[in-house]
Amino acid sequence: MLISVALGQVLSLLICGIGLTSKYLSEDFHANTPVFQSFLNYILLFLVYTTTLAVRQGEENLLAILRRRWWKYMILGLIDLEANYLVVKAYQYTTLTSIQLLDCFVIPVVILLSWFFLLIRYKAVHFLGIVVCILGMGCMAGADVLVGRHQGAGENKLVGDLLVLGGATLYGISNVWEEYIIRTLSRVEFLGMIGLFGAFFSGIQLAIMEHKELLKVPWDWQIGLLYVGFSACMFGLYSFMPVVIKKTSATSVNLSLLTADLYSLFCGLFLFHYKFSGLYLLSFFTILIGLVLYSSTSTYIAQDPRVYKQFRNPSGPAVDLPATAQVEPSVTYTSLGQETEEEPHVRVA
C-alpha cells in the first residue's frame, strides 16, 4: 500500500518539474509554446518506443499494429494532445484556484469510465478516500486565496473554466484508455503509438497555431536548458505512468497527482518567494490520508464472462461460475510483485 502511494508521488514530482520549467519559460523568458513543448515529448516517445515497435517481428510489429488498430490510436493521440493544450490554454482566461478545483473533475470522469468500460467496482472505503483527497485539494485552494497567491488574469472565467473541464474530461478518457491498453496489450505499444500520432498531430497544430510564437522565442542556452528539462520530465512522466497504472489503477494515479500543485508550491517558497500558510501542510497530509484510505483495499471486477477471459489465470484451471452466483471475484490492482508480461491472476472469493 505504501509503495503504491510512493509511486504516485514520484509522478507528482515529475509534474512539479514540468510546472516549474513551464513557469520559467512563460514568465521569465516569455516563451508561450505549449504545443511545441508537447511536440518535443512526442518526438522523444517516437524515437524510443515507436522505433522499438518498428524493429519487432510478428504481430507486435509497428505495421501489424497499424493494420489492426490504427484508427483507435489516432483518436487516442488526438485526445491526449488536446487534453494538455486545453488545460494550459485555460491559464490565460481563468484563475489558478479555478483551475486547481475544476481539474479535479478528472476523478469522477475516470471513476465512471472505469465502472462502465473496465467493469471496475469500488467499495465504500474507496469513495471515502476520494472525498478526503478532494477536501485536501479544496483546503489548498482556500490557502491560495488567503495568502493572496497570484491567481492569473481571470479576464474571461467562463471560457477558462470550460477549457479546464474539457481538458479534465479528455484526461480522464485518455487515462482509462491507457489502463485498458497496458492491461490487455503492452506498455511499449501504447507509448509507441502515442508517440507516432501525438507527434503527427502536434506537428500540424504547431505549424498552424504556434509558429509565430516560436519565432519570437529569444533563444539562448538557458532557454534551451529549460526545454531540455521540461522534455525530460514529460518523457519520464509518460514512460513511468503506465507502470504505476498497471500496479494500481487510473483512479489511484489521478488521486496521487493532486499533490503535484503542493510540491510546486513548496518549491515556489524558495524560488519565487511565495507566502507560506499552515493550511498548505494540512492540505498535503489530508490528501496523503485520502490516498492511504483508497489504497488500503483492492477494487474488484464485476462478474462478466468478457472480464474473466481478459483477466484469465493462465496457470490455473478454468473457473466456471453459475449465472446466479453471489460471490464477487476480485482483481487486486495494487499488487506489488515484479511486473511480468502475464495478465493478472483472478482471485475468486
Question: What residues make up the domain containing 29?
Answer: 1-304
The CA R_g of the chain, rounded to the nearest whole Å, is 21
Q: Confirm whether 119 is domain-assigned.
A: yes
Average pLDDT for the chain: 81
Residue 113: is it exposed, middle or buried by C-beta count within 10 angstroms (0-12/13-18/19+)? buried
Where do we find the cell 469510465?
113
Where do we find the cell 503527427?
200
Angle at CA 81, nearest 5°, toward 76 and 87?
125
Q: Confirm whether 15 is domain-assigned.
A: yes
Q: Confirm whether 165 is domain-assigned.
A: yes
Q: Confirm whether 334 is domain-assigned.
A: no
Which tens digit of pLDDT belongs to each residue from 269-308? Answer: 787 777 777 888 898 899 889 998 998 888 888 765 454 3
Say if residue 339's pLDDT is above 50. no
Q: Confirm whether 199 is domain-assigned.
A: yes
What per-residue confidence (pLDDT) applies to 320? 41
Q: Which DSSP string do the residues of 191-223 spell out, in sequence order?
A: HHHHHHHHHHHHHHHIIIIIHHHHHH----HHH
Question: 4: number of CA atoms within 13 Å, CB side?
Answer: 27
pTM: 0.80
Q: Confirm whether 346 is domain-assigned.
A: no
Q: Confirm whether 239 is domain-assigned.
A: yes
Which tens digit of pLDDT belongs to each residue from 98-146? Answer: 777 788 889 999 999 999 998 898 999 999 999 999 998 888 888 777 7
Q: Confirm whether 87 is domain-assigned.
A: yes
**How many domains does one find in the chain?**
1
C-alpha cell at 159: 471560457
